[in-house]
Amino acid sequence: MAGGGIAGAITSLKNNRNLLKKRKLRDKGDVYGQESITKLNLKKSTDQDMKRIRKKIKDYKREARTVWFVAICATAFILYSLWWWVNS
């Protein structure tokens, strides 16, 4: 019968589970560390620094948008050229 094989498998799984080491319950401090230890010492930014950072981000986004636009136009041109070549 197939029931004997299943019962043996279940017994084996229970025995293996009992062999595992018991886990200790941990609190949040043990897992993530103590709050006082992970305190960051960050530099204060001036208004000029913030304006410079914003301008740099804006320039980066403009450049990325331009590259994206050129890539889409080039892809469209290539696809149109292939379509025209196939239909000619």
Percent of the chain with pLDDT over 90: 48
Q: What pLDDT, in 10s, does the model give residues 8-22?
A: 888 888 888 888 877
User: Length of the chain, please?
Assistant: 88
Spatial distance between the Cα atoms of 50 and 55, rounded to a whole number of angstroms:
9
Q: Binning pLDDT at 50, 70 and 90, where does residue 42 land?
A: confident
Alpha-helix residue ranges (DSSP H) falling in the chain: 3-19, 28-32, 47-87
Mean pLDDT of 54-77: 97
Q: Binning pLDDT at 50, 70 and 90, where does residue 5 land?
A: confident
